[in-house]
Amino acid sequence: MCVGNATLRTECPICYGTSISYCISNTDRRKGLRGEWDLWICAECGVSFINPTPSEKDLYCYYSIYSPNERFDFTLGKGSRYPSLRKLYHVFSGDVDPRDFIRVPKGSRILDYGSGNCGYLVDLYSRGMKIAGAEILRYIVEAAWDHGYEMTLVENTERIPYPDSEFEYVYLIQVLEHIQQPHAFFDELRRILKPSGELYLAVPNSRSIWRSIFGAHWISGWFAPFHLFHYNFRSIDKLASAHRFEILDFWSSTPESWFRLNLKAVIYKEENRLDITRKWLDSLPYLFIIMILLRTFELFVREKDCLVVRLRKNSQ
């Protein structure tokens, strides 16, 4: 188990309000990491966060478990080869995929921050986009280098390793909730974006109806200790405004895979490696049944599990 020194916060790390209080304690139900982490909530902006925040040393230790070394397939998948079918499928699956909604003029420079398995980066690169990546895990960076992609290693999460005014577009899909110092990170996003540059964020939505229904089993969102923060529109707005970003648009969606993960957490209460262990709910017939029922129910729901926000850097 990873153990480091940490200090209990007495103010909200997003709006700096002092009306914070203990919310819930969580364990890792997805990767099997041992330990327990306390979540606190801010009454002013609504963000919840792990308190005390894990140290930088702890985070690197956690991520060695989160994503062990693996081989990458840099060939274009079916979703890249058949984009219209991919978009149609995502209407029903609820998956949040930047290729479906980011419209980038030809010649614009894009940053894929937190590239993961590099699927989005490879697809956009194949379509002639001037795209670069950034990752905290060295083996991902080296794999990208070996295949000729532009990628930099993030050695300090408070510093984005690219020059000032380098990009017109930046996207972070399920990344911001992992960032230890959100204000320092937003300073960096502002620095690397060109005037009027655009930023796309996708984060678990702490105001989702499914958080209320699943409670402690909302592991798609809680995911302790990897998700350090749990944002909603109000807390994103507070954070963005503090760094002179304007919100242009926002929406929410619940990926079927997230909903199914929470269902498994309810059914298999003793299981703590739910990301790895396949269950009967993961079979194709149940997947489609859940997908149809979820999409039907969410026709009447405003706050869904994944919040997507489009922002623009203000010049003032």
Tell me the C-alpha distance between 286 and 310, whole Å.
Answer: 33
Residue 56's pLDDT is 78
DSSP 3-state of 23: strand
Tell me the C-alpha distance between 235 and 201, whole Å.
Answer: 13
Query: For residue 84, what are its two tokens?
Result: 């219209």
Backbone angles phi, psi at 298, to 5 degrees: -80, 0
pLDDT(84) > 80: yes
pLDDT classification of 106: cutoffs 50, 70, 90? confident
**pLDDT (average), residues 186-215:** 97
Reported as a single tens digit per residue, the pLDDT across 232-244 is 999 999 999 999 9
Reported as a single tens digit per residue, the pLDDT across 164-174 is 999 999 999 99
Residue 6's pLDDT is 65
Decide if 199 contacts 245 (C-beta within 8 A): yes
Q: Is 101 exposed, middle or buried (0-12, 13-18, 19+ CB in 10 A)?
A: middle
* pTM, two decimal places: 0.92
Decide if 309 contacts 250 (C-beta within 8 A): yes
pLDDT(2) > 70: no
Tell me the C-alpha distance between 238 and 96, whole Å.
Answer: 23
Q: By percentage, how much of the chain surpasses pLDDT 70?
A: 96
Q: Which domains does the chain have, with CATH numbers?
A: 72-313 (3.40.50.150)
